[in-house]
């Protein structure tokens, strides 16, 4: 129980940090640029026959704008646990379906009164798992598998590459918790459910990052 409370407190602090200064983080996200190449790659590798997209941790809506331009507003749902960042996302993308959801606590219904098993063709997780510990990541990957159609893809991009560890950072006086992963850590969490169709490690501004795309079996 104590360990669970500590985890919940850390998650709460991270969300509160984004809520207190959403414009600061929105500008920071914009500085990294839209992941157009990664989005196009995932669209190409999706073999599910569905253009439905779910974005986990959609933040300020930076990538949503391009996703919607490619696949249409009706095919997109963006989830984030920060009300502050979602306000930025909605202002930036009027009429787009953004929802205040902590995916860690989400049942596979998205709160719309019906099951969404095998609904989506693509699930994007841009710098989403950087705030999830290993147990949370395993649980969410399982949810993603249930929500994807066969042949659909889970696209993971992480700005925290390295041996698995937790790291506390402080911005504007607020604490946020990050978790470092390597692609092989993710692969170990999803045997017999996904296979890797793309994997790349690169240095961006002298910081190693990785991308991987997993296709549902």
18-45 pLDDT per residue, tens: 999 889 888 888 877 788 999 999 999 9
Instruction: Determine the pLDDT at residue 107.
Output: 73
Instruction: Determine the pLDDT at residue 31.
Output: 76
CB under 8 Å to 159, separation ≥6 — which residues? 127, 130, 204, 207, 209
Instruction: Determine the pLDDT at residue 115.
Output: 55
Residue 155: what are its φ and ψ, rounded to 5°?
Answer: -105, 115
The one-character DSSP state at 109 is: T
Cα–Cα dist 146/10, whole Å: 27
Rg over alpha carbons for the chain, rounded to the nearest Å, is 16
- Domain of residue 147, CATH code: 3.40.50.150
Supply the range of the domain harboring residue 211. 2-216
In tens, the pLDDT along 55-68 reads: 999 999 999 999 99
Cα–Cα dist 114/92, whole Å: 29
Q: What is the pLDDT along the chain (217 residues), one digit of tens a residue?
A: 657 778 888 889 999 989 998 898 888 888 777 889 999 999 999 999 999 999 999 999 999 999 999 999 999 999 999 999 999 999 999 999 999 999 998 776 554 445 566 789 999 999 999 999 999 999 999 999 999 999 999 999 988 999 999 999 988 888 899 999 999 999 999 988 999 999 999 876 667 899 999 999 9
- First CA to last CA across the chain, in angstroms? 36
Inter-residue contact 185 to 202 (CB < 8 Å) = no
Nearest to 182 by CA among 129, 123, 144: 129
Inter-residue contact 65 to 59 (CB < 8 Å) = no
Nearest to 158 by CA among 200, 109, 116: 200
Q: Where are the beta strands (DSSP E) in the chain?
A: 53-56, 76-80, 97-100, 120-126, 148-158, 165-171, 174-180, 194-204, 207-216
**Alpha-carbon separation of residue 134 from 62, 159, 161 (angstroms):** 26, 16, 14
CB under 8 Å to 56, separation ≥6 — which residues? 79, 103, 123, 124, 125, 128, 140, 144
Q: Pull the structure tokens for residue 119.
A: 């609904």
Inter-residue contact 215 to 195 (CB < 8 Å) = yes
Task: Check the CA dihedral 66-67-70-74 and report its sign.
Answer: negative
Q: How many domains would you assign to the chain?
A: 1
């Amino acid at each position: 129980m104590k360990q669970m409370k500590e985890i919940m407190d850390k998650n709460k602090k991270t969300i509160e940090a984004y809520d207190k200064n959403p414009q600061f983080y929105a500008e920071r996200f914009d500085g990294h640029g839209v992941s157009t190449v990664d989005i196009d790659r995932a669209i190409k590798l999706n073999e599910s026959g569905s253009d439905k997209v779910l974005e986990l941790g959609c933040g300020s809506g930076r990538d949503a704008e391009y996703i919607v331009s490619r696949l249409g507003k009706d095919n997109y749902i963006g989830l984030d646990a920060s009300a502050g960042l979602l306000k930025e996302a909605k202002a930036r993308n009027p009429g787009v379906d953004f929802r205040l959801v902590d995916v860690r606590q989400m049942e596979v219904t998205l709160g719309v009164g019906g099951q969404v098993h095998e609904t989506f063709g693509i699930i994007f997780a841009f710098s989403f798992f950087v705030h999830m510990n290993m147990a949370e990541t395993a649980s969410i990957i399982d949810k993603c598998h249930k929500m994807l159609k066969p042949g659909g893809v889970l696209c993971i991009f992480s700005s925290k590459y390295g041996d698995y560890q937790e790291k506390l950072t402080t911005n504007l006086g607020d604490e946020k918790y990050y978790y470092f992963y390597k692609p092989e850590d993710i692969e170990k969490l999803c045997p017999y459910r996904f296979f890797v169709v793309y994997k790349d490690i690169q240095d961006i501004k002298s910081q190693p990052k990785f991308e991987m795309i997993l296709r549902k079996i």
